[in-house]
Structure 1
Amino acid sequence: MPASTAPDSGEVPDSDLVKRCQAGDTRAFDALVSRYRGRIYAMTYHMIQNETEAWDLAQEAFIKAWRALPRFKLDSSFYTWLYRIAHNVTYDYLRKKKIQGDGEFDDSRTEHKAAAGAETVPHGDDAPDTALKNAELGQRIHAAIAQLSPEHRQVIVLREVEGLQYEEIAATIPCSLGTVMSRLFYARKKLQELLKDTYENAT
């Protein structure tokens, strides 16, 4: 289910909470933080692979969001707006730390379309006798994702972890739909190369 899906029935809509925040209700903002802190932390963690710093970045994103709320016009979903703030905070961190990909792929050269149902990583068997192997597989997948460039890592996280549709990813980053497809194409290709041994051992 996409992370931008509306709250469950019975929950106060994001838009109502935002309006209350803009009127100075800090409790309404606390409710938004509680609703989305897990998703924002998951995004920052998948981007930088460090728990402590991921929490710090998530907190920084919420602080910036609180300060920017008076200017938020509700022209997009709150989560999309919040994700953009977290994305910028994380990218500022990456630039300062000079964490970059290997630059092997230049996705601006051409745009490739990838099938919406294309798998990024192999699915593991949850049977008890393979649990240990699956744990090792998960570690290798995380390590492979960490080797992607920030741009490619971002679209993989949004698509495979957050479960967003291509159009939602394009609106969130923001960029064109073609750029999303291109980055996913190269990210998946790179992951397949990094996980080649894993694929072979699983057959």
Structure 2
Amino acid sequence: MREPKFQTWQVIYDRHAAEVEAFVRGRAPAGEADDLLQEVWSALTGALEEQELRDPRAWLFRVARNRLTDLYRRRAARPPIQDITAELEVTDAPVSIGYLSDEDVDEEITAALALLPEAQREVFVRNELGGETLREIAVDLGIPLKTAISRKGYARRRLQGALREVYEDYFGID
């Protein structure tokens, strides 16, 4: 008789956690290691429900390496955002550089958000405007983390396309 899944998971975790953690922390950017490790242990849970692992250590390292590769691919595809807020003068006055006012831009953004499919809009708004993490949203909605990530990515791409002209008009770009 096979031991219960939790006991199997716990045995694998106890045997390999330190080694897998050292591997991930040695390769992941600061602040990303905990999320990657969570994904590895979550994947182990799913794998144990579907199959019996012949070599759990090799499986864990393969998953960790794949997650690291995915992370670096995502970072390479999206250059880091530069924080220029310290260089900006803070003011409460409405600013309009180009042809549109702040109110016009707000209306355009609201209209663009309304065009998104409900699932994408919910994830995007809760993450970007509500400050929730994608992991929290995924758990709350009962969806896989990757689904939440995909929904936000699709929403971002749609919004970028829909708001490109608004951006150019607002900042007076021809």
Higher helix share: 2
Whether the TM-score (by the shorter chain) exceeds 0.5 is no
- Larger Cα Rg: Structure 1 or Structure 2? 2
Larger RCO (CA under 8 A, 6+ residues apart): 1
Query: How would you bin the TM-score normalised by the shorter chain?
Result: 0.3 to 0.5
